[in-house]
Amino acid sequence: MPITSLKRIIRGGFLNFKRSGLVSWAAVLVVTITLSVITLIIFLQAMLHFSLTQIKDKVDVTIYFTVNAPEDKIMSLKSSLEQLPEVATVSYTSASDALKLFRDRHASDYPTIQALDEIGDNPLGAYLNVKAKEVSQYENIANFLKSDDSLMLGSSSIIDKVNYHQNKLIIDRLNTIISGAQKLGFLITLLLVIISIIITFNTIRLTIFISKEEIGVMRLVGASKMHVRGPFMIEGAIYGVVATGITLILFWPATAWLGRNMTDFLGINMYNYFISSFWQIFSILLLSGVGLGIISSFLAVRKYLNK
Amino acid sequence: MIYFNNVSKIYKDATALDDITFTIEAGEFVSFVGHSGAGKTTLTKMILAEENPTEGTVFFESINVNKMKNNDLTKLRRRIGMVFQDYKLLSNKTAYENIAFAMEAVGKTEEEIMSDVPHVLELVDLSHRTMHFPSQMSGGEQQRLAIARAIINQPELIIADEPTGNLDPVNTHEIVQILKKINDLGTTVILTTHNRGVIESVGKRVITMENGKIIRDTKNNK
Residues of B in contact with A9 (CB under 8 A): none
Please report the pLDDT score of residue A268 as a whole number. Answer: 82
Residues of B in contact with A15 (CB under 8 A): 92-93, 97
Q: Give the minimum alpha-carbon distance from A200 to chain B in angstroms, rounded to a whole number.
A: 23
The answer for residues whose C-beta is within 8 angstroms of residue B2's C-beta and 6 or more apart is B23, B24, B47, B58, B59, B60, B157, B188, B190
Of A47, A68, A198, A196, which is closest to residue A125 (Cα–Cα)? A68
| Residue among B78, B88, B96 with most chain A CBs within 10 A, to mutate | B88
Cβ atoms A239, A294 nearer than 8 A = no
Residue B180's SS3 state is helix
| Residue among A221, A226, A229 with most chain B CBs within 10 A, to mutate | A221
Please report the pLDDT score of residue B183 as a whole number. Answer: 93
Question: Residue B101 and residue A218: Cβ atoms within 8 Å?
Answer: yes
Pairing of strands B14-24, B2-11: antiparallel
Q: How many CB atoms lie within 10 A of CB A226?
A: 14
Nearest Cβ partner for A221 among B97, B105, B109: B105
Which of A13-27, A53-67, A292-306, B177-191 has the lowest average pLDDT? A53-67
Please report the pLDDT score of residue B197 as a whole number. Answer: 86
As a whole number of angstroms, the distance between CA A223 and CA A236 comes to 20
pLDDT band at A240 (very low <50, low <70, confident <90, very high): very high
Residues A31-57 have pLDDT tens digits of: 999 899 889 888 888 888 887 777 777
Question: Residue A222 and residue B153: Cβ atoms within 8 Å?
Answer: yes
Residues B29-41 have pLDDT tens digits of: 999 999 888 889 8
Which of A12-26, A150-164, A225-239, B34-48 has the lowest average pLDDT? A150-164
Q: Does A227 touch chain B (CB under 8 A)?
A: yes
Nearest Cβ partner for A221 among B91, B102, B107: B102
Please report the pLDDT score of residue A59 as a whole number. Answer: 77
As a whole number of angstroms, the distance between CA B93 and CA B133 comes to 6
pTM above 0.80, yes or no: no
Pick the more confident residue, A235 or A72.
A235
* Mean confidence (pLDDT) of chain A: 84
Question: Residue A5 and residue B107: Cβ atoms within 8 Å?
Answer: yes
**What residue type is assigned to position A4 of the chain?**
T
Q: Give the minimum alpha-carbon distance from B5 to chain A in angstroms, rounded to a whole number.
A: 24
As a whole number of angstroms, the distance between CA B214 and CA B207 comes to 7
Residues of A in contact with B77 (CB under 8 A): 219-222
Examine the pLDDT at A159 and tell me if it is beyond 60. Answer: yes
Question: Residue B104 and residue A19: Cβ atoms within 8 Å?
Answer: no
pLDDT cut 70: percent of chain A above it = 95
Q: Give the minimum alpha-carbon distance from B76 to chain A in angstroms, rounded to a whole number.
A: 8
The answer for residues whose C-beta is within 8 angstroms of residue B185's C-beta and 6 or more apart is none
Q: Does A147 touch chain B (CB under 8 A)?
A: no
Please report the pLDDT score of residue B165 as a whole number. Answer: 85
Residues B122-150 have pLDDT tens digits of: 988 899 999 999 999 998 899 999 999 99
Examine the pLDDT at A184 and tell me if it is beyond 60. Answer: yes
pLDDT cut 70: percent of chain B above it = 99
SS (H, E, C) chain A: CCHHHHHHHHHHHHHHHHHCCHHHHHHHHHHHHHHHHHHHHHHHHHHHHHHHHHHHHHCCEEEEECCCCCHHHHHHHHHHHHCCCCEEEEEEECHHHHHHHHHHHCCCCHHHHHHHHHHCCCCCCCEEEEEECCHHHHHHHHHHHHCHHHHHCCCCCCEEEECHHHHHHHHHHHHHHHHHHHHHHHHHHHHHHHHHHHHHHHHHHHHHHCCHHHHHHHHHHCCCHHHHHHHHHHHHHHHHHHHHHHHHHHHHHHHHHHHHHCHHHHCCCHHHHHHHCHHHHHHHHHHHHHHHHHHHHHHHHHHHHCC
| Residue among B51, B69, B73, B92 with most chain A CBs within 10 A, to mutate | B92
Question: Would you give the DSSP letter of residue B1?
Answer: -
Question: Residue A218 and residue B90: Cβ atoms within 8 Å?
Answer: yes
Which of A154-158, A255-259, A295-299, B90-94 has the lowest average pLDDT? A154-158
Residues B57-112 have pLDDT tens digits of: 999 988 898 888 888 888 888 889 989 888 889 988 999 999 999 898 888 888 99
Question: Residue A4 and residue B109: Cβ atoms within 8 Å?
Answer: yes
Please report the pLDDT score of residue B99 as a whole number. Answer: 93
CA angle, B76 as apex, B70 and B80 as ends, to 5°? 140
Please report the pLDDT score of residue B141 as a whole number. Answer: 92
Please report the pLDDT score of residue A216 as a whole number. Answer: 85
Nearest Cβ partner for A222 among B78, B88, B109: B78
Please report the pLDDT score of residue A166 as a whole number. Answer: 67
Please report the pLDDT score of residue B121 as a whole number. Answer: 92
Please report the pLDDT score of residue B132 as a whole number. Answer: 95
Question: Residue A222 and residue B101: Cβ atoms within 8 Å?
Answer: no
Examine the pLDDT at B7 and tell me if it is beyond 70. Answer: yes
Which of A138-142, B110-114, B204-208 has the lowest average pLDDT? A138-142
Question: Residue B91 and residue A214: Cβ atoms within 8 Å?
Answer: yes
Q: Give the minimum alpha-carbon distance from A262 to chain B in angstroms, rounded to a whole number.
A: 49
pLDDT band at B221 (very low <50, low <70, confident <90, very high): low
Q: Does A3 touch chain B (CB under 8 A)?
A: no
How high is the ipTM of this complex? 0.76
**Side-chain half-sphere CA neighbours of B19 within 13 A:** 1
Q: Give the minimum alpha-carbon distance from B222 to chain A in angstroms, rounded to a whole number.
A: 35
Examine the pLDDT at A307 and tell me if it is beyond 80. Answer: no
Question: In the A/B pair of chains, how many CB contacts fall below 8 A?
Answer: 51
Residues A105-119 have pLDDT tens digits of: 888 888 888 888 887
Does an H or E element contain B46, and which?
helix B40-47
**Beta bridge partners of residue A184, listed in sequence order:** none
Residue B123's SS3 state is helix
Question: Residue B88 and residue A213: Cβ atoms within 8 Å?
Answer: yes
Q: Give the minimum alpha-carbon distance from B149 to chain A in angstroms, rounded to a whole number.
A: 8
Please report the pLDDT score of residue A100 as a whole number. Answer: 86
Please report the pLDDT score of residue A161 as a whole number. Answer: 77
Examine the pLDDT at B120 and tell me if it is beyond 80. Answer: yes
pLDDT band at A151 (very low <50, low <70, confident <90, very high): low
Q: Give the minimum alpha-carbon distance from A224 to chain B in angstroms, rounded to a whole number.
A: 7
Examine the pLDDT at B51 and tell me if it is beyond 60. Answer: yes
